[in-house]
Amino acid sequence: MTKKRRGKRKVERRRKRKTRLKALAQGVFVAAIWGFIALMGITAWYAYHLPDVSKALDATRRPAITILAADGSEIATMGDLYGMPVSLETLPPALPRAVLATEDRRFYRHFGLDVIGLARAALANIMAGRIVQGGSTITQQVAKNLFLTPERTIKRKAQEVLLALWLERKFSKDQILTVYLNRVYLGNGVYGMAAAARKYFGIPARQLSTYQAAMLAGLLKAPSRYNPRSNPKLAAKRASQVLANMVAAGYLAPAEAKRAKAQKTRSVAVSGGRGFARYFADWVVEQVSGYVTPGNRDIVVLTTLNAALQRLAEAKAKAMLDKTAKKFKVSETALVAMSPDGAVSAMVGGRDYMKSQFNRATQALRQPGSAFKPFVYLAGLEAGLSPESRFVDAPLTIGTWSPRNFSRRFEGEVSMGEALARSINTVAVRVSEGAGRGNVIKVARRLGLTSNLKADPSLALGSGEVGLIELTAAYAAFANGGYGVWPYAIKEIREASGRELYRRSGSGPGRVMDARHAAAMNSMLSEAMKSGTGRAAGLPRPVAGKTGTSQNFRDAWFVGYSAELVTGVWMGNDNGKPMAKVTGGGLPAKLWRDFMAAALQGAPPRSLPGVGPGAGLRAGQKLDPKEKGFWDKLLAAVSN
């Protein structure tokens, strides 16, 4: 091949290469133009659907409901709580520095997007094979918190970037940081550093120590996980990390960080720890709308809760379950304590609120067993019987149903008072049949039981389902001498500014039983705790009460009272699984005794209404004329 021909071929190849490169360059240029147009179109589309930025500083939230115990101490705050706006000048320097060191160290050097931070986060995520770091700036977080939802989509991220750029153009860095510190979420329905300082430490934000500032800054990563109330150890560990970040960022010297850690013992969060009165607080919040309409107002609810009794109830219930749960196959308990006028002083709705928010004191309906019998015997008194009326404990059949005693034996002739104290089933059924099942239900309704009760022969033995709080309130009518009560928790509701919206006045439904019958019931139920099934609950003061055990040991109850306090206890399993032969006279009676003994410690003993020297009904008194009608009705029921 000649040199001339080889030269022509080289020229031809160069020409073709230039042509291909030119075509490629033209293609890339055209693609870039169309890509830019597409990007601008997408950007314009996202920008068109941006939220109204004119409302950047408007707070949209649920009204905060602060719940107070009877002594004015705070139990809980529900809803969203914002503090008064604070400026950087009024905050201790350690607070914004702790936030910047942890969240965005280049905040004052970037334009709303931290390119270096994004590159660092991307590299860390690639090396880890998963998302371990984020690259959002404080400006982006403000954009997201003010305008957008937490959803993770490309559209939301693009809008976040656009809004961050807009914020950087519209506001100064100090203004953006101020908005962030006033609006960031810090757990427990709290927004902003001022509200968080009050919530977690009981002080204004300007008084925060360096350690407390680090603890609040640590919440930003995960408010629930690093909550100083529910997770104090994790919160402290996170605060130490924030202090280390401040040293690395040049905001603190190592010696200063060490001194700040020494402030830890003086940085304990204010009262309201894990689970305190949470079931009670939920119950109160459910009722608030029935009294006032909060609207956008923050409100304060003063309740009847006795903080000391509440802590006592929680401690005693926990101790009882910790000691007996495994051995006796019982997983849950509930307790309600109230004054004889229905004011709820303490409430335990379950073993662990953090695991289950279902309130077994107010929401559960379970069979009360023999704890229902006082209503049967009250109906008997109203039908003309007395505690001395004689019955024969012997086999009994009504239709195809034959009740048996728990002891599986019959006692022969006993008085009605003895039958109640010893919880003899056949006598309770005879009293129910003689008084009339319909009348028994009327008595239960009159005393406050609202659940569905069927007029079956087994009604006398507590086959219907009731709630603990209403059963306890019904017993309060015995404790106060015969007046019905409505269990209540709210004494007063006012705006956060102090303006009164509601104040409780009046009382319950009035007298629901004759004073003589109340005295007779108190006498019989007192004997039940002296010589009957409630002996394990006995106290060295006038008390009365009744045990209850449902079929197959699924539920165990004890409801009793003194002249000062009425308390009901339930124990069992949520799934209805039988316990290991737990009766109302066992664990519930012991829990009742432990709580009541401590609750009434130091209070002088008081007689129950109608029970005292010369009070009550005496043996040998004349037969009430109505008693003959009672026996006629009982004979007819048994004959049928």
Q: What does each C-alpha distance from 30 to 25, 41, 191, 360, 477 come to in angstroms? A: 8, 16, 50, 70, 89
382 contacts 436 by C-beta, under 8 angstroms: no
Residue 87 in any domain: the answer is yes
pLDDT at position 128: 55
Average pLDDT over residues 290-313: 89
Q: Same structural domain for residues 329 and 387?
A: yes
pLDDT at position 11: 65
Q: Same structural domain for residues 252 and 321?
A: no
pLDDT at position 629: 63
**Domain span at 203:** 81-266
The Cα 317–Cα 330 span in angstroms is 12
Please tell me the pTM assigned to this model. Answer: 0.70
Task: Please count the other Cβ atoms lying within 10 Å of the Cβ belonging to residue 270.
Answer: 15
Residue, of 23 and 639, whose pLDDT is higher? 23
pLDDT at position 223: 87
Average pLDDT over residues 40-65: 52
Most confident of 143-147, 402-406, 529-533: 529-533
Residue 327 in any domain: the answer is yes
Q: Same structural domain for residues 482 and 615?
A: yes
| Whether residue 49 has pLDDT greater than 50 | no
| Whether residue 479 has pLDDT greater than 60 | yes
User: Residue 50: pLDDT band by 50, 70, 90 thresholds?
Assistant: very low
User: Residue 194: pLDDT band by 50, 70, 90 thresholds?
Assistant: confident
pLDDT at position 267: 54
Average pLDDT over residues 447-453: 93
Residue 474 in any domain: the answer is yes
Average pLDDT over residues 329-347: 97
Q: Is 192 left (phi over 0), alpha (psi -120 to 50) or beta?
A: left
Residue, of 131 and 255, whose pLDDT is higher? 255
pLDDT at position 627: 57
| Angle formed at CA 519 by CA 513 and CA 525, multiple of 5 degrees | 105
Percent of the chain exceeding pLDDT 70 equals 79
Average pLDDT over residues 33-61: 50
pLDDT at position 341: 95
Q: Same structural domain for residues 367 and 238?
A: no
| Whether residue 502 has pLDDT greater than 60 | yes
End-of-domain residue from the set 266, 292, 320: 266
Q: Same structural domain for residues 226 and 360?
A: no
Closest to 301 measured CA to CA, from 311, 291, 309, 310: 291
End-of-domain residue from the set 266, 300, 325: 266
Residue 550 in any domain: the answer is yes
Residue 243 in any domain: the answer is yes
Q: Same structural domain for residues 388 and 458?
A: yes
Q: Same structural domain for residues 124 and 223?
A: yes
Residue 434 in any domain: the answer is yes
pLDDT averaged over every residue in the chain: 84
Give how far the C-alpha of residue 152 lies from the chain's centroid of Cα atoms, to the nearest Å: 30
pLDDT at position 34: 54
Task: Please count the other Cβ atoms lying within 10 Å of the Cβ belonging to residue 455.
Answer: 13
Percent of the chain exceeding pLDDT 90 equals 55
- Lowest model confidence (mean pLDDT) among 287-301, 379-393, 521-535, 593-607: 287-301
Q: Which tens digits make up the pLDDT trace of 564-606?
A: 999 999 999 999 999 999 999 999 999 999 999 999 999 999 9
Closest to 582 measured CA to CA, from 536, 526, 530: 536
341 contacts 448 by C-beta, under 8 angstroms: no
Closest to 182 measured CA to CA, from 132, 131, 216, 133: 216
**Strand-pair category, 190-191 with 81-82:** parallel
pLDDT at position 59: 47
Average pLDDT over residues 187-211: 86
Q: Same structural domain for residues 91 and 219?
A: yes
Q: Same structural domain for residues 521 and 391?
A: yes
**Strand-pair category, 344-348 with 299-303:** unpaired
pLDDT at position 617: 35
pLDDT at position 4: 61
Q: What is the CATH number of the domain that holds 185?
A: 1.10.3810.10
Residues annotated as catalytic are 103, 370
The Cα 546–Cα 289 span in angstroms is 35
Q: What is the CATH number of the domain that holds 634?
A: 3.40.710.10
Most confident of 82-86, 223-227, 268-272, 549-553: 549-553
| Whether residue 381 has pLDDT greater than 90 | yes
**Strand-pair category, 412-415 with 390-393:** antiparallel
pLDDT at position 621: 38
| Angle formed at CA 443 by CA 438 and CA 449, multiple of 5 degrees | 105
- Lowest model confidence (mean pLDDT) among 8-22, 303-317, 372-386: 8-22
Question: What is the DSSP code (8-state) at residue 498?
Answer: S
pLDDT at position 418: 95
Residue 319 in any domain: the answer is yes
User: Residue 503: pLDDT band by 50, 70, 90 thresholds?
Assistant: very high
pLDDT at position 274: 46
> What is the domain count for the chain?
2
Q: Same structural domain for residues 454 and 595?
A: yes
Residue 479 in any domain: the answer is yes
- DSSP conformation letters of 476-495: HHHHTTSEE---B-EEEEEE
The Cα 190–Cα 481 span in angstroms is 46
Residue, of 320 and 107, whose pLDDT is higher? 320
Q: Which tens digits make up the pLDDT trace of 101-154?
A: 998 888 898 887 777 766 665 565 556 555 445 568 888 888 777 765 555 556
Q: Same structural domain for residues 254 and 392?
A: no
The Cα 371–Cα 42 span in angstroms is 70
pLDDT at position 46: 44
Q: Same structural domain for residues 543 and 432?
A: yes
User: Residue 374: pLDDT band by 50, 70, 90 thresholds?
Assistant: very high
| Whether residue 162 has pLDDT greater than 80 | no
Average pLDDT over residues 74-95: 82
